[in-house]
Amino acid sequence: MRTRFLVTTMIIMCATSVAVAGSLEPPAPPAPTGKSLQVVEPRTPIHTLGGSATAIYAITEPGSYYFAHNIYGVNAKSGIEVSANNVTIDLMGFSLIGVPGSLDGIKDTGGTFHNGLTVRNGVIHDWGENGINYHSSWDVLIENVIIKDCEGWGYLGQGGIAIVKDSQFIGNLIGVDISGGEIIRCISRSNSGAGAQIAGGTQGIVREFVATGNQNGLVQMAGGGWVFEDNTFSSNSMSGISVCWGNTIRNNTAVNNGSDTQSVGSGIELRCGGNVVDSNLVADNDVGISAFASGGEVVIRNILYNNSTDLDASTGNDFAPVQKAATSTNPWANISN
């Protein structure tokens, strides 16, 4: 009797559960719950763009663009041409690879200046002209990029304002060229001309820059008012750093510059006057510090070691005396061993 009661109860419970569940048919078709591709990846892949008469791909609208694979150049064209302001190009770890007879890797449209370019995260190499040619344009950021083995400049921003950081420039004609802005934590080596070139006109900063194995480590063509600090200029065949006027040059290392037997190179070369040269290590150069103009150069507290000539200065400049550290009583003295 008890068994019959339990079975009956279970049947009633099961029937009740089925009745409560109701219809299994959805009230309406399922609606999408995910995000659109434009929300997930709101950028444009470079390889989907059209080209122009002078470039494989042409960016004509502001926005963010990215590489999905390596891109290869062709004869007589640039890789990417930009004709818009406020453009970001992310190489995504891929390479933009030139071929013999190619033009620039990335370029502005000729004769028209566009501002607000960012290029980051990849390698640009073997272009027949320049790696990046953004001549005279402003508000440019180049970061985490390697530009190498280009026939012209690695980055040509002459006349423009740029921040160039955490990048390398190897085996080009000129490594990096800007008129104003910053070069921060970069390496420039084995370029046949200057590792860095300052076109002049606008002030800026070069800090934690390593220039080695170039013709000149860094050359300021004109202008002044820059700060050069905490840099290393080594084994350049001519001068380590050569500047014009009104700069502060401090806490740098300039060693083993001037190996070119056809000319005399200096660790630090002052050409135009009015610079302050303070607390640098200058060693194993043809000339440690040279000053060509009678223009009030101030040279103090530098360490001079094993240069063929420590100081070579014209009249009218203020060079602190060269003394031994152990016996010096002048707080501004340059120290020679």
Residue 51 maps to a domain: no
Per-residue pLDDT of 116-171, as tens digits, reads 999 999 999 999 999 999 987 889 999 999 999 999 999 999 878 999 999 999 99
Mean pLDDT, the chain, whole residue set: 89
Mean pLDDT across 67-94: 97
Where residue 175 falls among pLDDT bands split at 50, 70, 90?
Answer: very high
Residue 335 maps to a domain: yes
**Beta bridge mates, 250:** 229, 278
Spatial contact of 158 and 137, defined as CB atoms under 8 Å apart? no
With a cut of 60, say whether residue 98 has pLDDT above it: yes
Per-residue pLDDT of 177-223, as tens digits, reads 999 999 999 999 999 999 999 987 678 999 999 999 999 999 999 88
Distance CA 68, CA 74 (A): 19
**Beta bridge mates, 211:** 188, 233
Question: Domain total for the chain?
Answer: 1
Domain that holds residue 234: 193-337
What is the number of residues in the chain? 337
**Beta bridge mates, 87:** 63, 117
With a cut of 80, say whether residue 18 has pLDDT above it: no
Where residue 277 falls among pLDDT bands split at 50, 70, 90?
Answer: very high
Residue 273 maps to a domain: yes
CB environment 146-176: b (16+ within 10 A), e (fewer): bbbebbbbbbbbbbbbbbbbebbbbbbbbbb
**What pLDDT is attached to residue 334?**
97
Residue 295 maps to a domain: yes
With a cut of 80, say whether residue 326 has pLDDT above it: yes
Distance CA 248, CA 235 (A): 22
With a cut of 50, say whether residue 228 has pLDDT above it: yes
| CA 335 and chain centroid, separation | 34
Residue 60 maps to a domain: no
**Beta bridge mates, 210:** 187, 232
Distance CA 117, CA 148 (A): 20
Q: Tell which residue, 337, 332, 269, has the closest CA to residue 301.
A: 332
Spatial contact of 207 and 236, defined as CB atoms under 8 Å apart? no
Distance CA 323, CA 237 (A): 28
Distance CA 212, CA 237 (A): 9
| Of 92-101, 108-117, 118-127, 288-297, the least confident | 108-117
Residue 107 maps to a domain: no
With a cut of 70, say whether residue 282 has pLDDT above it: yes
Distance CA 111, CA 261 (A): 41
**What pLDDT is attached to residue 10?**
43
Residue 266 maps to a domain: yes
Model pTM score: 0.87
Residue 187 maps to a domain: no
